[in-house]
Amino acid sequence: MNREQLAAQFERERGRLRAIAYRMLGSIAEAEDAVQEAWVRLDRHDPERPEDVRGWLTVVVSRICIDMLRSRRARREEYAGTWLPEPIVTPIAPDDPEREVVMADSVGIALLVVLEQLSPAERLAFVLHDVFAVPFDEIAQVLDRTPAAARQLASRARRRVQDRAPTDDVDVRVQRPIVDAFLAAARAGDFEGLLRVLDPDVVFRTDGGGVGILARPPVAGAEAVARQVQATGPRFAALAQHVIVNGGPGVIVEAPGQPTVVIAFTVSKGRIAAIDIMGDPVKLRGVDHRS
């Protein structure tokens, strides 16, 4: 296989590799870096080209992601507030088939938050096996462990995901009226109205990049979250514009003189189970919500 053929095959795999890397890293920019590094390594893989390019690239990009996760863990120890992933913000245009594909391949913010709590090895085993159906013998190669050990890692990660990540209501069109009711109650400062749409165990998380007013611990429980929203929501809810965030309902808030904020809602069983507010300008620099 010559270099031109190799490059063509890599381009056919790029989307899949980027999807793996985003689920591993929660960052679009870091995912792109990981995929590009995988290409550099493939291009240098002389004199013998791998026979199974797809499998080889999966292993390589996974190892790159593991290294990136391990190196950044030390930097997170002093991170103020909640670290939230870089959101994928999509304008609302249901008749656009390309956007439907993006939504179908999306991973919710709440799930990414839970994945962030796993060890790098658990995260990789879960993502590769449960999301991308990679066999455990291949996962074992990445982790330098036995297939049985890789299976145990995936099983442990799966239990933690099931315990901690709320199950989204499937259809965004069903979820949006619940978000509308939340926004209406927030604009009015309606405490009881907020309680009606919040799950009793709702979690309210904010990420300002480790600095500023969003660098605060999570708030949990319907009453505590309702009080938080009642105090700050009326100023911002009126400016909220509907978007799709990681395949689910969300809004973007652009207030004069204030940094842009993206809010993702996780709606489960007809109530809001998680509210994730992302205001880190580094993570939002690529956001374009215009149709």
- The pLDDT, as a whole number, for residue 103 is 46
Q: Helix, strand, coil % (nearest 5) of the chain?
A: 55, 15, 30
Name the CATH architecture for the domain at 3-79+110-164.
Up-down Bundle (1.20)
Rounded Cα–Cα distance for residues 4 and 171 (Å) = 42
What is the value of pTM for the model shown? 0.86
Give me the residues of the chain with pLDDT under 70, please: 1, 45-50, 74-78, 93-105, 169-170, 288-291
CB within 8 A of 229, min separation 6: which ones?
Answer: 185, 186, 194, 204, 275
The CATH 3.10.450.50 domain(s) of the chain lie at 172-284
Question: What CATH number was assigned to the domain covering residues 172-284?
Answer: 3.10.450.50
User: In this predicted model, what pLDDT tens digit does every residue of 54-103 receive, in sequence order?
Assistant: 999 999 999 999 999 988 776 666 677 788 999 999 887 655 544 444 44
User: In this predicted model, what pLDDT tens digit does every residue of 224-239 receive, in sequence order?
Assistant: 999 999 988 888 898 9
- The pLDDT, as a whole number, for residue 100 is 45
- The pLDDT, as a whole number, for residue 255 is 79
Partnered with residue 241 across adjacent β-strands are 252
- Contact (Cβ atoms closer than 8 angstroms) between residue 267 and residue 102: no
- The pLDDT, as a whole number, for residue 42 is 86
Rounded Cα–Cα distance for residues 53 and 64 (Å) = 16
- The pLDDT, as a whole number, for residue 165 is 82
The CATH 1.20.140.160 domain(s) of the chain lie at 3-79+110-164
